[in-house]
Structure 1
């Protein structure tokens, strides 16, 4: 199980444009509820977001945070061959946050016979499993965040943590409607950051000739404006690299952020 969790950790942390990585996603049956009720979720990695065609997502580390800060335990969890399915009973008024955080290190080097070796895991495991004299050693730190938001009744304000790559939406994530541009601000360790690369794909790509992926890059204030002209679920992936590592053995930090947003018709 630890090995599986490590692999999923790296997959999520390395999430980027689906041109060169599988999309990692969690999709709720609804993001806006008029009254307390159950919501069902699909969770998977796939060739294109929202297409169930690759592997289930491990949700052992998933947190479902209620408006008052308490945690909700997912129920009816079923891990299939292609997706994980679970339910959550949302009973409080306000906005719930689903949060899946991953962090760790990945390394590559050559052994005494010049054969390539790779590692994915924690800093502690890195120190134990990677030789101190490893040849051509390359180490990077990974930090990723996946979020979903579901609101019961009136939306409530969302807070950031000041850690890693985070998103602030000028319009509440559960108040998005067609025809209204959306301003997004990306923070790295709590500060608006220029140069964050963002990809957005609308669901139902199976029934289009291509994914119609749109790409963006944040300005000097960490901002960008996007148009979401059609109703549906949207997968947003953001990626950024810097050298602010927590362990000096790593030379680079790779940050990733993924969120599923529902856009409703006006």
Structure 2
């Protein structure tokens, strides 16, 4: 049976075949379970929050679409308890296999954004838009997942939703080991996304002498990317994918997907 590492393992450094990025993007989403290996449990509690420092909750992740996908692949709704800094859900884990706990697709605020040299930039004041650009409405859509396993890992809960932005785990999330490749595919509406930036964050920064900078990876032409961490710990990987307004939809959409996983020796 795989055991969760001590809390000190949150201080783990990262070794990836990627490029070091700058400071973490503000208020990134995450889910964090009370245990990833629930073999000796019949219940797991999962917190959901937005933070600037993993995994310290700051703003509760409220959603009307909380759910669990069980080992049989069936999706069941969950009801969260929303506190100020975090949301909490309890999930029964009496059956053997892998469970996917998810916020579901949650709709966030709409902000003004402009396209500058192929990149979307958000504006606090539309009047400050660069010359030659036209501000548009951009609505945020966030989805966060985490997997826990009782006994032997199973695969039914890993099936892609096929809508919005998501990561498909090629390497089972309950079989990610330190120093070994963990493979994923990034999809949007069920199709691979080439050249997508994926950011990996290590926790827990509040106990580290210096913050571990996030690492940025890029998916290949088939949407595949590989993560390899140097030390055991808990990590979050996320991506953002933005869709411009169209003739049939005047509002653009900014999708964020986040997955938390544990890496053990």
Q: Shared fold (TM-score greater than 0.5)? A: yes
What residue in structure 1 maps to residue 153 of structure 2? 155
User: Given that residues 239 and 255 in structure 1 are in contact (C-alpha distance below 8 angstroms), is that contact kept between their aligned partners in structure 2?
Assistant: yes
For 2:81 and 2:107, how far apart are their aligned partners in 1?
Answer: 25
For 1:259 and 1:196, how far apart are their aligned partners in 2?
Answer: 15
Report how far residue 235 of structure 1 moved. Answer: 1.0
Report how far residue 78 of structure 1 moved. Answer: 4.5
Report how far residue 149 of structure 1 moved. Answer: 0.8
Aligned pair count? 223
User: Given that residues 241 and 254 in structure 2 are in contact (C-alpha distance below 8 angstroms), is that contact kept between their aligned partners in structure 1?
Assistant: yes
What residue in structure 2 maps to residue 41 of structure 1? 46
**Which stretch shows the higher mean deviation, 78-87 or 180-189?**
78-87
What residue in structure 2 maps to residue 139 of structure 1? 137
Structure 1 residue runs without a partner (length 5+):
1-16, 110-114, 118-135
- 1:28-67 matched pairs, under 5 angstroms: 28-52=33-57, 54-67=58-71
Report how far residue 103 of structure 1 moved. Answer: 3.7
Specify which structure has the bigger relative contact order, considering alpha-carbon pairs within 8 angstroms and separated by 6 or more residues.
2
Report how far residue 35 of structure 1 moved. Answer: 4.3
Structure 2 residue runs without a partner (length 5+):
1-21, 114-123, 127-133
User: C-alpha root-mean-square deviation of aligned residues, in Å?
Assistant: 2.8
What residue in structure 2 maps to residue 130 of structure 1? none
For 2:206 and 2:108, how far apart are their aligned partners in 1?
Answer: 33
TM superposition score normalised by structure 1: 0.73
What residue in structure 1 maps to residue 90 of structure 2? 87
- Corresponding residue SS for 2:173: coil
TM superposition score normalised by structure 2: 0.74
- 1:62-211 matched pairs, under 5 angstroms: 62-68=66-72, 69-71=74-76, 73=78, 78-100=81-103, 101-103=105-107, 106-108=110-112, 138-157=136-155, 158-208=158-208, 209-211=210-212
Tell me the alpha carbon deviations over residues 76-104 of structure 1, each in whole angstroms, 9 at most, x when there is no partner. Answer: x6543322334222111111111211246
